[in-house]
Amino acid sequence: MIFHVWMSVFAMFFIARAGADEISATNEVLAGIFIHSETHTNPPERFWVAVVDLKNPKLKLRVSRGGADPDGDGKWKTTLMEPTKIADRENFDLVINGDYFIARGVNDGEGSNSMYRASQWARPEGPAMTDGLAWSVTTNARPCLVVHTNGAVTFEMVTQPDGDDFQVVGGWPILLHDGKIIPVDSKRNTARHPRTVVGLDATHEKLTLLLLDGRKPGIAAGMTYEELAAEMLRLGCTEALNLDGGGSSVMAYRKVGKMCILNAPTDGHERAVADVLGITVEN
């Protein structure tokens, strides 16, 4: 009851916030998962925020690859698959895209130029673990969202998941740590793009998922890393990690048995990806 009252105050705060053209009321679309959307004008922005109550025992976070490992001990670890199809296979009720990835024989392209297709051999750029099985490792540590065997969720630098890790998905860069914005020394920091971000509050009891549209002139400009970090801080996060973005960015949830995509992917449709972060709500 206390959590629901707090979320009502949370929703009222967003509705009253100056500088926003439209902020929807926060709705509990699934047990323990609250979603609202925001539309801004200067610059134009459009995004969706899902706040997940990690204390809810009915919620289960899980990382899943696209298709099966196509070459055994070779360098490829999965095949690309659309997030909503992964969600249907794994019975996820909410899904977002996961880590950056490399696909065999494909140069990164966006929109109509994108050459990413389902079933292409691929590998995530960072580590990946599903149900305690590490199916992708790296030689250099990468920032990751880690779900531990006891259900605790943290952000950590990971090379090879260890015995206490149960679900791992990589990203880059770290945007917030201990409530402070982490500067990103990268030319990419000045560019605005669609983004997918995960964040934690100070208690690590609320997981915030942000899906930001972009590359839509007059509708959604996208954000730089610094702008994104400030947005996650405003949303109550003290830790935040950027996942893959651009045409890969997607958020979908199960509505009346069917996965419903909330955003407008820049390819004109959801992109097949290497892995996802999904949430199942147990009955």
191-225 residue pLDDT tens:
899 999 999 999 999 999 999 999 999 999 999 99
- Mean pLDDT value of segment 5-29: 58
Per-residue pLDDT, 21: 78
Report how far apart the first and last C-alpha atoms of the chain are (Å, whole number).
19
Distance CA 199, CA 155 (A): 9
Q: Are 205 and 197 in contact (CB under 8 A)?
A: no
Residue 269: strand, helix, or coil = coil
- Alpha-carbon distance values, 95 to 68, 87, 90, 106 (Å): 19, 7, 10, 25
What does the pLDDT read at residue 10?
A: 40
In 3D, which of 275, 267, 242, 277 has the Cα closest to residue 116? 267
Full residue range of the structural domain in which residue 251 is found = 54-105+115-204+226-235+244-283
pLDDT the model gives residue 12: 39
Q: Once rounded to an integer, what is the mean pLDDT over residues 89-103?
A: 97
How much is the average pLDDT of 231-250?
97
Residue 15, judged by CB atoms within 10 A of its CB (0-12, 13-18, 19+), counts as: middle
CB hemisphere CA count around 2 (13 angstroms): 1
Checking if the pLDDT of 137 tops 80, the result is: yes
Query: Residue 164 falls within a domain, yes or no?
Result: yes
Q: What is the dihedral of CA 67, 72, 73, 79, to 10 degrees?
A: -20
Provide the number of structural domains found in the chain. 1
Domain membership of residue 11 (yes or no) is: no
Determine the Cα–Cα distance for residues 223 and 215; give it in Å rounded to an integer: 10
Closest CA to 246 of 51, 105, 100, 118: 100
pLDDT reported for residue 111: 65
Res 11: pLDDT: 42
Answer whether residue 21 is part of any domain: no
- Count CB-CB contacts under 10 A for residue 117: 12
Whether 217 is in a domain gets the answer no
Over range 20-46, report the average pLDDT: 92
Q: Residue 270 falls within a domain, yes or no?
A: yes
- Kindly state the percentage of the chain with pLDDT values over 90: 82
The answer to whether position 47 is within a domain reads: no
pLDDT band at 17 (very low <50, low <70, confident <90, very high): very low
Confirm whether 36 is domain-assigned: no
pLDDT for the residue numbered 185: 78
The answer, yes or no, to whether residue 174 has pLDDT greater than 50, is yes
The alpha-helical segments, DSSP class H, found in the chain are 2-16, 83-90, 225-234
Is residue 220 in a domain?
Answer: no
